[in-house]
Structure 1
Amino acid sequence: MNRIDRLSAILIQLQGKKIVKAAEIAERFQISLRTVYRDVRALQEAGVPVGAEAGTGYYLVEGYHLPPVMFNREEAAALLTGEKMMAQLSDHSNRKQFGNAMQKIRAVLRSSEKDFLESLEENIAVISRRPPEDSEFPNRFLSDIQYALGKHLMLKLDYFALHSETLTHREIEPIGIIYMMGYWYLIAWCRLRHAYRNFRMDRIRNLGVTAISYERERHISLKEYMEKYAEPAAYPHVVKLRFSAIMAKKLGNQRFYYGLMEEQAAGDCVEMTFLTSHLDWFGRWVLTIGKEVEIIGPEELKEHMRKLATEIYEQYLLT
């Protein structure tokens, strides 16, 4: 990237945040801090009102605006790919908002870029094995959750826990959101449990943003939460099961809730591949299916099932 293009990109970066650290600019463009200082000084000498706070970073003086940003062909293609991914990997609220944003982006593209996107659009597909839409859990709260995160506002929600199959009312202080293993999770301090909890967003029945603010500094960061609590999820288990065709049909939507990745016919049976972070939780579900399921792997799950079966046998042996 030549210096003129880099100066333009730095100016756009400054407009995108309230404060931008010199280290952020250096990392983005793979340049030294000394080069960052020279580039910022060049912008100031060109009449751009770039302010600086010692030890904090750079900012654009309030009231200064750049002319509308134009996208090149590669950037427009990347945004189109993002739109395809959002359609499959987000919820109702964010899909609608991203669609509105893409309409505005298309409106400012040059004719050649618009033609390019139209020809490219039908040649990009994102496939997600998400369960069918469930009207009981509308899955449209991501935008509200993002608003509460940005404003540090408490949320009230009705949440259905899969492991206990119970619906509870919660008041929570959100600290972040994570997309993991095909689902969005809301990470928050739960006032009911007095502990940090993660809530799968497609299990939220109702949600409301309150006017009650909380002190964000009292909580750990999302990064700290992931390092402390979510480490096991970084190493999920791939589980392969074989069901009779009749049982596979009886499972219905259950298979999606337990992390279904793939299923295929195998003679008179159906083989399914799941991704799970908790073999104990997954094994207890398999136990409810009885003899109608065969574990293909991993061996660790087979051993765990032997342990669960033994515990049940011993519990009822003398009763």
Structure 2
Amino acid sequence: MNKTDRMLAIVLELQRKKQMRAEDLAAVFETSVRTIYRDIQALSEGGVPVVGAPGIGYSLMEGYFLPPVSLTVEEAVTLLIGADFVEQRFDASYGRKVQSARGKIEAVLPDGVRSEVSRVHSSIRLLALGDTFTDSNEKKCLEVLRTAVLEERKVKFDYSKKIPGDDGRRDSVRTAAPYGLVFTHGAWLLIAKCDLRQDLRHFRLSRMSGLTMLDETFQRPADFVLHRYQPLDDRNTIIRVLADAGIADKLKESNNFFMEDAEDRPEGCLFTFRVRRPEELLPSILSWGAGVVVLEPVSFRNRVREEVEKMLKRY
């Protein structure tokens, strides 16, 4: 990064974070503290009102705002693609704000850049296909949960979970303190402390119904940071499956959540899956048909055979 770009970036950092030490700025821009001192001096001489306080850091004088920043074609396209994603995946409230934001981005672009951005953006499209699409119920849940997370208010909802058994599901009523929302593998998850379990739990929004926000508040732990949170991985059961060459590519492209490894062999492709319970992989195994065979564990191999025999009786 050259000096001019770094000085502009410093102003943006100060405008965004309000106050930063020279050491912190040096770490962000991977340069020396002495270089940051020189940049700050150059900004001050250029008329940018940077205020320094010993032991505290630098800040911009109150009321100072950086003029609109010019965007490159690539930067503008990146923002517009992000807007497309938000419009598809988030709730209606954010969807309306996206339309407004998109218009503002396009309005500040110079004519030549705007036409090039339009040309590039028109060649890229995000598709929400099949069960990865955020449905209307999830979008309604998103709007309630976003508010609950920000206002630190508990929520109550009915939750339906698929489990092995006679009826294949369990319904329960949960009250929880919502800590954050995560979008992963095409699904929205709520990370929340469940009153029933007295521990952090993950709830799929697609399995929620009757969601309401309560008046009861909570305080999120100071040491909980969503972007650093790593849930406990309790998938301890290994399943190995041999797939025919004709279906191997399809399995690789499926991006199955439980897939750990794929090893090409002369007799086909050996896939390794890691699950909590073998039943979690059963629907996928059946959907792949005769093109795959379960090698281990033997108990799951037998379980697949039993399910196939039940299917034969129905036909």
User: Of 261, 286, 307, which residue of structure 1 is paired with 2:282?
Assistant: 286
Identity %: 28
1:276 and 2:257 correspond: yes
Compute the displacement of 1:197 (Å): 0.4
What is residue 214 of structure 1 aligned with on the other side? 218
1:305 and 2:308 correspond: no
Distance, in Å, in 2 between the alignment partners of 1:85 and 1:62 is 35
Compute the displacement of 1:198 (Å): 0.9
What is residue 200 of structure 2 aligned with on the other side? 196
What is residue 296 of structure 1 aligned with on the other side? 292
Compute the displacement of 1:123 (Å): 0.7
CA deviations on 1:170-218 (whole Å, 9 max, x unpaired) are 3322233333222222211111221100112333334444454422236
Structure 2 length as normaliser, TM-score?
Answer: 0.68
Q: 1:92 to 1:149 in 2, by over 3 A?
A: closer
**Alpha carbons 2:177, 2:193 under 8 Å: kept:** yes
Secondary structure of 1:63's counterpart equals: coil
Structure 1 length as normaliser, TM-score?
Answer: 0.68
Please list every run of 5 or more consecutive structure 1 residues that lacks an aligned counterpart in the other structure.
243-261, 265-270, 313-319
What is residue 6 of structure 1 aligned with on the other side? 6
Q: 1:290 to 1:106 in 2, by over 3 A?
A: closer
**Alpha carbons 2:242, 2:295 under 8 Å: kept:** no
Q: 1:146 to 1:132 in 2, by over 3 A?
A: closer
Matches within 5 A, 1:144-163: 144-163=144-163
Distance, in Å, in 2 between the alignment partners of 1:85 and 1:305 is 39
Matches within 5 A, 1:103-114: 103-114=103-114
Q: 1:297 to 1:167 in 2, by over 3 A?
A: same
Secondary structure of 2:69's counterpart equals: coil
Distance, in Å, in 2 between the alignment partners of 1:105 and 1:177 is 27
**2:48 aligned partner, one-letter code:** V
**1:97 aligned partner, one-letter code:** K
**Alpha carbons 1:136, 1:205 under 8 Å: kept:** no
Distance, in Å, in 1 between the alignment partners of 2:287 and 2:110 is 62
Distance, in Å, in 2 between the alignment partners of 1:239 and 1:92 is 39
Distance, in Å, in 2 between the alignment partners of 1:224 and 1:231 is 18
Compute the displacement of 1:140 (Å): 3.6
Distance, in Å, in 1 between the alignment partners of 2:69 and 2:123 is 26
Distance, in Å, in 2 between the alignment partners of 1:20 and 1:38 is 15
Q: 1:310 to 1:87 in 2, by over 3 A?
A: same
Q: How many residues align?
A: 282
**1:279 aligned partner, one-letter code:** V
**Alpha carbons 2:192, 2:201 under 8 Å: kept:** yes
Compute the displacement of 1:107 (Å): 1.9
Distance, in Å, in 2 between the alignment partners of 1:126 and 1:137 is 21
Compute the displacement of 1:47 (Å): 4.3
More deviation in 285-294 or 169-178? 285-294
Please list every run of 5 or more consecutive structure 2 residues that lacks an aligned counterpart in the other structure.
259-273, 308-315
**Alpha carbons 1:49, 1:61 under 8 Å: kept:** yes
More deviation in 205-214 or 174-183? 205-214
